[in-house]
């Protein structure tokens, strides 16, 4: 019995170490239930066999019953292992995301679990707050810049005016050079009319970076949601980039 519980504990750990929330709890309860049933069968079947003498039949019944119980009890886990992704995401892997919500600034977004979120005020400005999600190697970053449009002269700024101002700031940025605008088009983002900017630049380190940025207004706030990486790895981040953009929601 001690060995059964040891094996059971190991199985629980292996199957639930990467699960969260209700799936985690359900999986633990299911696995414990399966272990208890298996233990009862291991004790009861030999007694039945001793009485009936038909050892082979009950061994087959036990094997089939155990397989059916395992399939039913572990269905939440199996659905994760055999889903479209094919694997349970490992913590910090490209497929593992966390949700970030800022009720004060009024937005929600998902970001890779291995990345570090940092929130700070824009230097020299009380109107703009930047939240950055930085990759472990520091070469890829997602940003949410929130501008307070409640100040006189800011509320109701036309999207075209904001877009032109943003391009002007990017063009004159002293921290980069060779700014190239690759795309500038009106679209819809997070359910709001938005402007999409796609551009590249050479930063002071000599690396060429590429950024896709969405500008949108929602109520008294303006949101700039961007994704930046080195240009040679930009195409490799397409799936991650789209997942981050698709997750963005205005909540305030």
Asked whether residue 70 falls in the same domain as residue 105, the answer is no
- pLDDT for the residue numbered 128: 84
Classify residue 10: in a domain, yes or no: yes
Pick the last residue of a domain from 81, 105, 121: 81
Output the pLDDT for position 37: 63
**pLDDT score recorded for residue 112:** 96
> Does 131 share its domain with 181?
yes
Looking at the fold, whether 51 and 156 belong to one and the same domain comes out as no
If pLDDT is split at 50, 70 and 90, which confidence band does 23 have? Answer: very low
pLDDT greater than 70 at residue 6:
no
**pLDDT at 18 (0 to 100):** 39
The per-residue pLDDT for range 154-213, each reduced to its tens digit, is 666 788 998 999 999 999 987 788 999 999 999 999 999 999 999 999 988 889 999 999
Segment 99-126, tens digit of pLDDT? 999 998 999 999 999 999 998 876 556 6
- Does one domain contain both 121 and 65? no
Predicted confidence at residue 210, as pLDDT, reads 96
- pLDDT given at position 247: 97
Residue 215 lies in a domain: yes
pTM of the model: 0.62
- Residue 124 is predicted with a pLDDT of 55
Q: What sign does the CA torsion over 150, 134, 216, 159 have?
A: positive
* Pairwise CA distance, residues 143 & 228, whole Å: 8
Is 125 a member of any domain? yes
| pLDDT tens-digit map of 51-78 | 555 656 555 555 555 554 555 444 444 3
**How many domains does the chain fold into?**
2
Identify the band that residue 127 occupies on the pLDDT scale cut at 50, 70 and 90.
Answer: confident
Give yes or no: residues 161 and 206 share one domain.
yes
Percentage above 90 pLDDT, the chain: 45
Domain carrying residue 235: 97-250
Look at 80 and 156; give whichever has higher pLDDT: 156
In a domain, 136, yes or no: yes
For position 199, which CATH number holds? 3.40.1000.10
Quick: pLDDT tens for 207-236.
Answer: 999 999 999 999 889 999 999 999 999 999
Render pLDDT for 37-53 as a digit per residue (tens, 0 to 9).
666 556 665 665 565 55
**Residue 115 shares a structural domain with residue 224:** yes
Per the domain annotation, does 91 fall within a domain? no
pLDDT at 220: 85
Instruction: Report if residue 87 sits inside a domain.
Output: no
Q: Tell me, yes or no, whether 32 and 117 share the same domain.
A: no
- Answer whether residue 27 shows pLDDT above 60: no
Q: What is the pLDDT of residue 79?
A: 38
- Mean pLDDT of all residues in 19-45: 54
In this structure, the answer to whether residues 65 and 127 fall within a common structural domain is no
Whether residue 93 has pLDDT greater than 50: no
Judge whether 89 lies within some domain.
Answer: no
* Same-domain check for residues 72 and 181: no
- 88 in any annotated domain: no
pLDDT of residue 229: 96
């Amino acid at each position: 019995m001690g060995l059964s519980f040891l094996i059971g504990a190991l199985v629980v750990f292996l199957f639930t170490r990467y699960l969260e929330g209700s799936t985690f709890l359900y999986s633990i309860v299911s696995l414990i239930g399966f272990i208890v049933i298996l233990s009862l069968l291991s004790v009861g079947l030999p007694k039945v066999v001793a009485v009936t003498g038909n050892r082979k039949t009950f061994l087959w019944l036990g094997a089939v019953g155990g397989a059916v119980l395992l399939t039913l009890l572990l269905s939440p886990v199996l659905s994760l292992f055999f889903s479209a992704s094919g694997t349970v995401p490992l913590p910090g892997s490209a497929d593992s995301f966390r949700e970030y919500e800022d009720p004060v600034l009024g937005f929600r977004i998902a970001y890779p679990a291995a990345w570090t979120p940092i929130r700070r005020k824009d230097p020299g400005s009380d109107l703009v707050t930047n939240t950055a999600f930085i990759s472990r190697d520091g070469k890829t970053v997602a940003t949410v810049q929130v501008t307070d449009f409640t100040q006189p002269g800011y509320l109701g700024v036309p999207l075209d005016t904001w877009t032109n101002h943003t391009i002007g700031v990017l063009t004159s940025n002293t921290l980069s050079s060779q700014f190239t605008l690759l795309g500038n088009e009106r679209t819809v983002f997070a359910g709001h009319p938005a402007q999409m900017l796609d551009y590249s630049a050479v930063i002071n380190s000599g690396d060429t970076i590429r950024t896709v940025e969405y500008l949108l207004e929602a109520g008294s706030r303006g949101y700039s949601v961007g994704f930046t990486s080195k240009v040679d790895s930009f195409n490799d981040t397409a799936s991650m980039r789209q997942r981050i953009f698709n997750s963005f929601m205005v909540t305030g």
